[in-house]
Every structure is written in C-alpha cells, then in structure tokens.
C-alpha cells in the first residue's frame, strides 16, 4: 500500500481510466479489452486503486471485476436492443430532480462517480462527462421543494453526491434545512464501498453532523466489499450519529447466490449496516445482462429466513416501469386460506395451520 492509500483525493486522482493502465494490474480477457475500447465515450471506465485492489487478478469472474471492468457484452446488439436508458423515467421538467412519491424527492447532484459501475441504473449519464448542478440549478430545485409542502424527505444522489465540494454541499444542505417541512435528508452514496477514505475527512463529517438528521444509503453488493477500511468509514459515520443503510442490487454472476447474499448480510450486520433493500435489477440499456429471473430473488429471500436475524433481511423490491415506483416482494408463506384459518409455511419448511380471528 503506497502512501496516499488512506487519502481520498489520491484515490480519485489515481483512478484507472484507460486500457493501458488497467493492463498493468490485470491480465485482461479479449472480452474485456474489446469492452474497454468499444464502451469508450459511451460507458467510460474509472476504477479507484482501492476498489481495484479487491479484485482477484487470476479470476476473470471476480465479482468486483464484473462490477468495475467494462465488457464487450455492454454494447452487443442484443443487449443494446433491450431496456431503456431511463427505464424508471427519472428525467423530468426540472433538471436533476425527480418527484415520484408525494413525500419524497430525489436530487441528482452530480454525474461524477469514483467508479463507473457496469450495472449502474443511471448509466445514461456516463457519456455526458462529469457535471455537477450549478448554484442556479440548485436554487431551482430548492424553490420547487419550498413550494411543495408535502415533501418531507430529500434523497440526494448522483452520480456520487459526496464527491461534491464542501462549499456547494453546504449551500444545498443549508437551503434545505431552512425549509420547515423538510424533515430528513438522505445521501445515496457508494463511497463507503468504492473509496471509503472519503469518510476519513473530519470536515465532511462535521458538515453532515451539523445538518442532522442525515441518513446514508449505501450500496454493498458482495461480501468482499466489506473490508476493514469500509468498516472504518461506516464507524466514523455512526459515531457522528449518521445511520448507514444498504441497498443491494441482485446481479447475475456477482451475487445471485443465496450463500453469497447470506454472507454479505451477516457481514453488514457485523459492521452495523442495516440491509434495507434488495433491488431486482432494472431493465437499463447497456446493463441488462446483469438481470436474473424474479424467481432467483424469491429463492434468496426464502433461503435467508431462519439463517439470519430479521434485521439482516432486506425488503426485496422491483421498480415498476414508467416511473410507477417500487413494489415490495415476498415469497408466499401463506400456503392456503379457508376463512380465517391459514396454512403457513414456517422457517424450517413445515406447514402450520393457524386460525387468526379478531378479538
Ligand atoms: C427509490 C426512490 C425514492 C426513495 O424510496 P424509499 O423507498 O423511501 O427509499 C424516492 N424517489 C425516487 C424517484 C426513487 O426512485
């Protein structure tokens, strides 16, 4: 580990962005070499040295590698002809803002990311370069929120919102906190996974603490990502009173395996991160090869029951097309129903008949 390893700025400055750089660290497959060439300008590559260090160089199917290194499949005709760039209809009339549920809004603060995840649901933004909302664009969004008194919860995402300079971040947080009906602010950030060094900066932590209540939604997908540095990042957030919840995406080849998911959620509980959602992979153009069947998700959810605390079991959800929002999904544990007499499937697979009536 060179000097600078614990420094976020160093991690960002030294991101691997070209084929020749990556070749120094990994023996690339033809599929990857071609992938890096063909995705250039459309779905570019960027990998922090830290995230790269988690890759087993001898395993072309390494789960970190599949998330970070472009492959030709992303631009294959079959993949490109399926899905949509903005399958969830996030883009609306105000740039950077999505208001879907009455009580919550999503702000996309920047298109910059530490690592360009190959499965990203916002892959459409990669080609536009690294752009952050201007102060004027932030003002427009804040005006909208001020006028909509039903909005209580602000989700700030990106790109990578916590990559934005502290001055601009504070400008946004201060304006949001001046609005009486805004109750909580959340950051959707993958930095605990991609560059946990971001949270070794006391100035950032001071800022987040000052605008409490702030929550973090992060994105661990595989047990290999739960490292000592990630744990340290989470720990620093928790010490400042900032809860950290996780949103995993079910990805073919990466984590579509019950035992892997169990291990991931156990490791997250150990570092005090609550698995909040397990998302079914969205039909995003250029990323649809990561999609599994819905049955795979049900199989995983069924497997988890009885093997880990209920705290460690996320809500499995699918996002509906056309911007119709998230739907929670559960395997069916009610085998039969006659009036108020139900036959349930217990955690160990046995069937239990139980009559439940209102008292
Ligand atoms: C997911 C999402 C939210 C937040 O939903 P929660 O279930 O509260 O996490 C808010 N707005 C949009 C547009 C979303 O996609």
**pTM, to two decimals:** 0.96
Is residue 113 annotated as part of the catalytic site, yes or no?
yes
pLDDT, residue 307, reads: 96
Helix (H) or strand (E) holding 263: helix 258-270
pLDDT, residue 128, reads: 83
- Residue minimizing CA distance to atom 1 of ligand 1: 326
**Separation of CA 104 and ligand 1 centre (Å):** 7
Kindly report, residue by residue over 167-213, the tens digit of the pLDDT. 999 999 999 999 999 999 999 999 999 999 999 999 999 999 999 99
Kindly report, residue by residue over 323-344, the tens digit of the pLDDT. 899 999 999 999 999 999 999 9
Pocket-testing residue among 87, 100, 323, ligand 1, by greatest number of atoms within 8 A of Cβ: 100
Kindly report, residue by residue over 291-313, the tens digit of the pLDDT. 999 999 999 999 999 999 999 99
Residues 6+ apart with CB under 8 A from 148: 99, 105
pLDDT, residue 1, reads: 57
pLDDT, residue 354, reads: 98
Is residue 100 annotated as part of the catalytic site, yes or no?
yes
**Separation of CA 77 and ligand 1 centre (Å):** 31
- Residue minimizing CA distance to atom 14 of ligand 1: 106
Is residue 136 annotated as part of the catalytic site, yes or no?
no
Catalytic residue, candidates 50, 51, 62, 319: 319
Q: What percent of the chain has pLDDT over 70?
A: 99
pLDDT, residue 148, reads: 98
What is the mean predicted confidence (pLDDT) over 229-242? 98
pLDDT, residue 68, reads: 98
Lining residues, ligand 1, CB within 6 Å:
98, 100-101, 104, 106, 155, 326
Distance CA 309, CA 103 (A): 30
The two counts, helices (H) then strands (E), for the chain are 13, 12
Distance CA 269, CA 304 (A): 14
Q: Given the DSSP bridges, would you call strands 274-279 and 244-249 parallel, antiparallel or unpaired? A: parallel
pLDDT, residue 2, reads: 60
Nearest in space to 133 (alpha carbons), one of 117, 112, 114: 112
For all residues of the chain together, what is the average pLDDT? 96
Residues 6+ apart with CB under 8 A from 21: none
Is residue 101 annotated as part of the catalytic site, yes or no?
yes
Residue 158 has pLDDT above 60, yes or no: yes
pLDDT, residue 239, reads: 98
**In this structure, which topology does domain 77-329 adopt according to CATH?**
TIM Barrel (3.20.20)
- Write out the DSSP string of 4-69: TTT-HHHHHHT-B-SHHHHHTT----HHHHHHHHHHTTTS---B-HHHHHTS-TT-TT-HHHHHHS
């Amino acid at each position: 580990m060179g000097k600078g390893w614990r420094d976020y700025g160093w991690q960002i400055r030294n991101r691997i962005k070209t084929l020749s750089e990556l070749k120094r660290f990994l023996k690339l497959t033809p599929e990857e070499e071609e992938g890096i060439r063909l995705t250039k300008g459309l779905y570019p590559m960027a990998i922090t040295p830290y995230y790269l260090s988690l890759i087993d160089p001898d395993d072309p199917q390494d789960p970190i590698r599949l998330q970070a290194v472009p492959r030709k499949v992303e631009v294959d005709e079959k993949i490109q002809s399926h899905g949509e760039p903005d399958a969830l209809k996030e883009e609306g009339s105000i740039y950077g803002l999505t208001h879907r549920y009455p009580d919550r809004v999503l702000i996309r603060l920047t298109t910059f990311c530490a690592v360009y995840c190959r499965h990203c649901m916002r892959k459409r933004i990669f080609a536009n370069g690294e752009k952050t909302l201007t102060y004027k664009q932030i003002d427009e969004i804040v005006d909208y929120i001020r006028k909509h008194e039903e909005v209580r919860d602000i989700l700030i995402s990106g790109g990578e919102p916590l990559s934005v300079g502290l001055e601009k971040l504070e400008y946004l947080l201060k304006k949001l906190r001046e609005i009486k009906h805004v109750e909580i602010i959340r950051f959707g950030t993958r930095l605990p996974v991609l560059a946990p060094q971001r949270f070794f900066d006391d100035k950032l932590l001071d800022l987040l603490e000052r605008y409490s209540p702030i929550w973090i939604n992060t994105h661990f997908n595989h047990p290999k990502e739960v490292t000592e540095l990630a744990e340290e990042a989470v720990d620093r957030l928790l010490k400042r009173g900032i809860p950290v919840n996780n949103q995993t995406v079910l990805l073919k080849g990466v984590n579509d395996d019950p035992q892997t998911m169990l291990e991931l959620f156990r490791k997250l509980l150990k570092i005090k991160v609550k698995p909040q959602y397990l998302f079914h992979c969205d039909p995003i153009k250029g990323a649809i090869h990561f999609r599994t069947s819905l049955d795979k998700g049900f199989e995983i959810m069924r497997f988890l029951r009885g093997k880990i605390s209920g705290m460690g079991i996320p809500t499995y959800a699918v996002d509906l097309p056309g911007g119709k929002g998230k739907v929670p999904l559960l395997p069916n544990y009610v085998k039969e129903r006659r009036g108020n007499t139900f036959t349930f499937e217990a955690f160990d697979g046995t069937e239990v008949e139980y009559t439940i009536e209102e008292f």
